[in-house]
Structure 1
């Protein structure tokens, strides 16, 4: 397996050259220079590196021996180890006596860069694998449960656990920053993925007794991390993996409806907007003109007072005293406004059925 690439070798060179003022060369497991502070030496064969690869130990080259060693200059060449295997060579140009004290430090730096690169690649592989699983679980296509459970099992994820779908929407730039930030908030059994349109999806495992409290706490933490630049929605608990698609759809609708009704918030739970979401779905395919009477209220009264009155009346559950207090008006003024709403729309807010229709009309207007 080729552990060292040209890009990684050059990264080792650039990092280690900051340690001391000497040229650094990195050779692959065939003794070819693939990274160097001297670009003209790239792709040259390094005889000193071949000796290191053969012996498995450091080799010092001074002025007297450099003549017989092709592609070499005075310096020290040390093996780069990974998992106790020699995978390459790092060479320091200079008189051995002058650079010997730095040699082990450069070797350690090279091996650290290699290890970090390997770990990063593993993390990125795991993220890609999780993302593929998440997208399969929320897709419309047929789901092969056994296959996807097996794939998740390889990542140490148990798909038998109940989960809640959480959707995060934002700009491409903020999404990339958020992915890095929320890694510390993700549990061991949680799955995280990114959709084709750059939405982040978390399938959060419900492993606590009070799931609602746990999810609320999680949403608040994530919202804080994202500095309120991301819209977050959560669906209902999915007891089975086939229900995750529904939970995902609910989370998206929670954002769609919630962000229109409460734009000052940053996260929206499906349970908090369930009625509004259901009503919105009911009227989606209906003739929108049936609610045209609502527009009669938009331009009526001082500063839209009839709309504000209707909103307060709905919010206070039709309680006249509470509504009047909320609006800082007399009960008689409130009655006058309710009568005016009835006159303009043909719907009396004091009638339960009419109030429901007015609320549906208002909802359709707000989310359109």
Structure 2
């Protein structure tokens, strides 16, 4: 990447002139003027800048000294340092004595802007490489050589144990860079891959040296999004070890969203795994079983059963959860038994009813 571009130089000139009321010139490493408040000087050679680059130090030129120097006027010329190297020169036109107070400040501001622009460019390139890696992993026949190339480019250490996470962010504005920076500050950067697959979906591959570490990372990532004040739904897959299984893990997350009937913000495939077994069976078979078992149960009875099973067949807990009297709950359960012939308080019958509800 060329750190000091004409666009960046023009931005530095515009911002600096506003604050100093002095003409500013930005020269590249060859002494050519990249940007100037005096547009007629752009593209010309600045002999003073060439001297600064050659000697590697700030140089001050008076009116007399600058007269015989090509493209040079009285003022202060300072080397622009980036990662310990001179990448250009910034020249401030005017009385050198009057510029003493602002010259170093202008130089510092210029170098800070270069660093900011460089790291933003690097971050955006890194994000794109991660997106390419996820895109490749989701293909039916991913290229092993391309995956290896991308992981080397990203300097990523994908540990043995892995999980896929999908984050859905509905109709909210968010900054890719801020999310990546925040995750990188909380997690080991070499242990995860993040991809923004569309305007409201983020896919993350997390890895760890031990399996138990992954559950902690999932919860940590969820909390990071909450601290960013983003309203999200997040799904995580089962643990897997081989990158070829990433596509299956992604599909597991899709099933979690599909079967998340209560719209919980954080769920894992383990939470719905038994439901997915039914989902993968024939739809007509599921429908037939549901109708045969549940019969003509009304909506209130169905909701009562759902909460009864959610509360582990516990009468007191369910009644409290539904804000109804214990006897009211018992009446509703007896009504269910009368219609279905199955007693919700008995494990075997409750299992049949639960499967029918999942169907």
State the TM bucket, normalised to the shorter chain: 0.7 to 0.9
**TM-score, normalization: structure 2?**
0.81
Count of matched residue positions in the alignment of Structure 1 and Structure 2? 351
Moved more, 277-286 or 224-233: 277-286
Q: How far has the Cα of 1:156 moved from its partner?
A: 2.9
Task: Please tell me whether the aligned partners of residues 257 and 276 of structure 1 are also in contact (alpha carbons under 8 angstroms).
Answer: yes
Q: 1:307 aligns with which of 293, 302, 305?
A: 302
Residues 1:328 and 2:325 aligned together: yes
Residue 113 of structure 2 is matched in structure 1 by: 113
Cα distance between partner residues in 2 of 1:283 and 1:191: 37
* Unmatched runs of 5 consecutive residues or more in structure 1: none
Matched, 1:80 2:94: no
Relative to 1, partners in 2 of residues 1:217 and 1:319: Cα closer, same or farther, differing over 3 Å?
closer
Unpaired runs of at least 5, structure 2: none
Task: Give the match for residue 91 of structure 1.
Answer: 91
Q: 1:279 to 1:36 in 2, by over 3 A?
A: farther
Alignment partner, residue 266 of structure 1: 265
The equivalent residue for 2:156 is: 157
Given that 1:223 and 1:230 are in contact with CA atoms closer than 8 Å, whether structure 2 keeps it comes out as yes
Q: Is the 8 A contact 2:161 2:210 kept in 1?
A: no
CA displacement at 1:161 relative to structure 2:
1.9
CA change 1:252–1:219 in 2 (3 A) is farther
Summarize the Cα distance change of 1:188–1:86 in structure 2 as closer, same or farther, 3 Å threshold.
Answer: closer
Matching of residue 27 in structure 1 with residue 27 in structure 2: yes
Secondary structure in 2 matching 1:73: coil
Equivalent-residue separation in structure 1 for 2:358 and 2:155 (angstroms): 44
**Do the aligned partners of 1:75 and 1:91 also contact (CA within 8 Å) in 2?**
yes
Partner of 1:246: 248
For 1:242 and 1:219, locate their aligned partners in 2 and report how far apart those are by CA, in whole Å. Answer: 24
SS of the aligned residue for 1:48 comes to helix
TM-score (norm 1): 0.79
Tell me if the contact between 1:167 and 1:251 (Cα under 8 Å) persists in the aligned partners.
yes
SS in 1 for 2:237: strand
Partner of 1:102: 102
What secondary structure sits across from 1:98 in the alignment?
A: coil
**Residues 110-189 of structure 1 correspond to what in structure 2 (within 5 A)?**
110-137=110-137, 139-145=138-144, 147-159=146-158, 161-170=160-169, 171=171, 173-174=173-174, 176=176, 178-189=179-190
CA spacing shift, 1:241–1:335, aligned 2, 3 Å? closer
- Relative distance call for 1:91 and 1:324 in structure 2 (3 A) is closer
Q: 2: distance between equivalents of 1:361 and 1:40? A: 80
